[in-house]
Amino acid sequence: MVIGWYVHHHGYGHVARFLAVAPHLRTPVVAFSSMPRPADLPTGVDWIELPPDADEYTRPDGSTVDPRDADPTVRGHLHWAPHDHPGHRARLARIASIAAERSLSAFVVDVSVEVVVFARLLGLRTLAMTQPGARTDAPHALAYDLADGILAPWARGAVAAEALGPHVDRVVWTGGISRFEGRDRPGARDQRSVLLLGRVLDDHVREDLVARLRSRGWDVTSAGHDPASRVDDPWPLLTRSTVVVSAAGQNSVADLAAAGARAVVIAQDRPFDEQHDTADALERWGLARRADSRTSTAELVEIIERAAGDDPDWTRWQVEGAADRMAAAIEAVAR
């Protein structure tokens, strides 16, 4: 028995989730992605690099085509299947070829409606990763209808997910998936220290915020807002800082939960309002304070200072054991 796993190439969140769960699988795994092979890929995992499918391409008649002009949504029925794109065709052909060669028994899709549909048409037991947000459009409905199992990487009841209502018999809420699950936390946190994690603010806004906080006696560290500030292991910063300011993506939130951080989450504008829905859920459960692109720097300072006195019960996000629960749900479907 071999499991296939499609890793979407936008951002780092999808591959981080895969790297967190893969060591918990007892079944061999073949991963498919347009991303290059990760340096920290677990031993024994095969990585199949797929060709890109969103670049311009040339038709046989010599004309150059932007795939956005090639009916990629099939009149609203799919998200991305442009006419005539050689990369799109080649990546699906590669998946089918490996599925036959390796006798794949199941396929995890994180995330792509088209790959869910294709995997199920190949007769594979298919698990669709879902994300928060208003995913009630026709393509998502098709993916959820076809999937043999649906994986929701947050605590059940935390984030409203109307689209999952008709499919609750096939949904597994695993809790948040964090690469830091089970890692020891150091001792006491620093006093009056703020970590600005990732590119959550435009540079001029971040610089203004840093100046305002420092004028009020805060020590501020910015990490990950550009290549030069990237930190390979942010765990010490996450666990030491008084307040962490972060995006409201699923991996970021799970890392905050693993660290037990006092947090301010700044919801980034993403398709289907994913981060806005997550930020609302965190504020409703008392786990973090929220902001967004409309929040002024003066307001952010006030929110951060209020967050310094919070005592969030991050166990509600159910990070502990989440990667193992997801692995078990995948292997239960794979049989």
Residue 289 is part of a domain; what is its CATH number? Answer: 3.40.50.2000
Please indicate, yes or no, if residue 187 is contained in any of the structural domains. Answer: no
Q: Are residues 124 and 270 in the same domain?
A: no
Q: Mean of the pLDDT values across residues 227-237?
A: 91
Query: How does DSSP classify residue 301?
Result: H
Q: Are residues 223 and 155 in the same domain?
A: no
Q: Are residues 282 and 327 in the same domain?
A: no
Are the C-beta atoms of residues 73 and 102 closer than 8 Å to each other?
no
Q: Are residues 117 and 68 in the same domain?
A: yes
CA-to-CA distance for 29 and 273, rounded, in angstroms?
A: 32
Average pLDDT score over the chain: 95
Q: What is the pLDDT of residues 57-89, one digit of tens each?
A: 998 888 999 999 999 999 999 999 999 999 999
Q: Are residues 208 and 70 in the same domain?
A: no
If you compute the radius of gyration of the chain from its CA atoms, what whole number of angstroms results? 21
Q: Are residues 302 and 324 in the same domain?
A: no
3-class DSSP state of 63: coil
Q: Are residues 224 and 300 in the same domain?
A: yes
Are the C-beta atoms of residues 210 and 220 closer than 8 Å to each other?
yes
CA-to-CA distance for 4 and 74, rounded, in angstroms?
A: 26
pLDDT at 187: 76
| Token pair for 259 | 């660290």
Q: Are residues 119 and 268 in the same domain?
A: no
Q: What is the pLDDT of residues 25-54, one digit of tens each?
A: 999 999 999 999 999 999 889 999 999 999
Split into its structural domains, the chain has a count of: 2
Please indicate, yes or no, if residue 285 is contained in any of the structural domains. Answer: yes
Please indicate, yes or no, if residue 188 is contained in any of the structural domains. Answer: no
Could you give the C-alpha distances from 144 to 81, 110, 249, in angstroms and in order? 18, 13, 21
Are the C-beta atoms of residues 100 and 91 closer than 8 Å to each other?
no
Length of the chain as a residue count:
335
Q: 87 lies in which domain range?
A: 2-177+320-334
Please indicate, yes or no, if residue 76 is contained in any of the structural domains. Answer: yes
Picking from 89, 82, 88, the residue whose alpha carbon sits closest to that of residue 66 is 82
pLDDT at 210: 97
Q: Are residues 294 and 325 in the same domain?
A: no
